[in-house]
Amino acid sequence: MDRTSSRPSAATEPSTAAARGPTTTHRAPTRLLLIANPISGGGRSRHLAPQLAAALAHHGIVGEVHFTRDADDARRRAAAAHGEGWDGLVVVGGDGTVNEVLNGMSEPSLPLGMLPVGTANVLATEYHLPRTVAAAAALLARGNTTELPVAHCADRRFLLFAGAGLDGDIVHRVAARRSGTLGKHKYLVPILQALWQWQLPHLRLTLADGEVLDDVSSVLVTCVRNYGGALRLPGEFSFDRRHLHVLAFRGRSRCSFLRHGWRGLWGRMRADRSLSLRTTTSVRIEGAAPLQVDGDARGSTPTSIELLPSRAKLFVP
């Protein structure tokens, strides 16, 4: 396993296109299943999904719309789509709905598409996916895809990140307060509650090569270089699809976390005495802490996170 040095790297950050790997052009799709979360974007997806289907029709593509009925319906519909002859599954919603669709497929073999209408839209930010109906339809019609790394944690596949500690605590607080659609403003009270109560765990991480990191207060294991669509993660990570990237926070003061958050907003987050960076293919997290996977509450640690041999496909520009 390759390790990332705990010291800042002088290397320049790779471009997003280089980091995500080569783009492959397939034949243009003819049938796409649009799985839409009707409450995403304050209910905008209820109108955008039929608009996307109509825009696809102008490109000669049949787009069938399925509106989800409950929190698990996207997973069930994606599972049922196997063998129905679709050329791809397109989410009209947010990252949580993408995660449900990913976990509904027996294998992540069908290309995934996205019209981002969620809260953070991390996947769309990472891969520069268009936000308008016309641009999304044109992208899907071209049929360009790239391979994405797929990781596994707490019986879930994920494309973005899993975290335990402070961010897991905040996500659990958001889930406890959630009713209806979720906007970024709904994170404010849970963040303030977490900062006020401030109870950080003591975690132990064991990486694939046997290295142990003790007394970790929070950990983020990520496949992407942005967090929440706003924070830029350290540039010394290569994001080469063959590894997971671990941010092990050892600081225990509010100032320490606020400092890293401020740096992330400006793309200057880096390793220091309170933040260790590692590159690995698996990590075991021991100790008790709230856990989140792709922004959804998923119980608590201990848990194991690993990179899977399979790859997902994403329609990209």
Domain containing residue 252: CATH number:
2.60.200.40
Contacts of 11 (CB under 8 A, 6+ apart): 235, 236
Q: Are residues 181 and 265 in the same domain?
A: yes
Domain containing residue 110: CATH number:
3.40.50.10330
- Give tens-digit pLDDT for 62-95: 999 999 998 889 999 999 998 899 999 999 999 9
- Let me know if residue 59 belongs to a domain: yes
Rounded Cα distance between 133 and 50, Å, is 10
pTM: 0.85
Choose the final residue of a domain: 99, 117, 142. Answer: 142
> Which residue type sits at 1?
M
Q: Are residues 32 and 125 in the same domain?
A: yes
**Residue 263 sits in which domain range?**
156-309
Q: Are residues 170 and 138 in the same domain?
A: no
Q: Are residues 135 and 179 in the same domain?
A: no
Q: Are residues 39 and 132 in the same domain?
A: yes
Angle between helices 95-104 and 73-80 (to 10 degrees): 40
- Let me know if residue 292 belongs to a domain: yes
**Residue corresponding to tokens 């979720």:** 182
Q: Are residues 133 and 216 in the same domain?
A: no
- Let me know if residue 291 belongs to a domain: yes
Choose the final residue of a domain: 114, 142, 170. Answer: 142
- Let me know if residue 120 belongs to a domain: yes
Contacts of 276 (CB under 8 A, 6+ apart): 6, 213, 246, 247, 248, 250
Choose the final residue of a domain: 142, 164, 193. Answer: 142
* Overall domain count for the chain: 2
Per-residue model confidence (pLDDT) at position 99: 94
Q: Are residues 202 and 271 in the same domain?
A: yes
Per-residue model confidence (pLDDT) at position 296: 87
- Let me know if residue 14 belongs to a domain: no
- Let me know if residue 17 belongs to a domain: no
- Give tens-digit pLDDT for 210-265: 999 999 999 999 999 888 778 888 876 776 778 999 999 999 988 888 899 899 98
- Let me know if residue 115 belongs to a domain: yes
Q: Are residues 117 and 175 in the same domain?
A: no
Per-residue model confidence (pLDDT) at position 153: 95
Q: Are residues 185 and 269 in the same domain?
A: yes
pLDDT at residue 18 greater than cutoff 70: no
Q: Are residues 206 and 80 in the same domain?
A: no
Most confident of 34-43, 47-56, 102-111: 47-56
- Let me know if residue 287 belongs to a domain: yes
Angle CA(178)–CA(180)–CA(182) in degrees, nearest 5? 65
Mean pLDDT of 277-282: 95
Q: Are residues 167 and 304 in the same domain?
A: yes
Q: Are residues 224 and 97 in the same domain?
A: no
pLDDT at residue 185 greater than cutoff 90: no
Per-residue model confidence (pLDDT) at position 184: 54
- Give tens-digit pLDDT for 34-47: 999 988 877 888 99
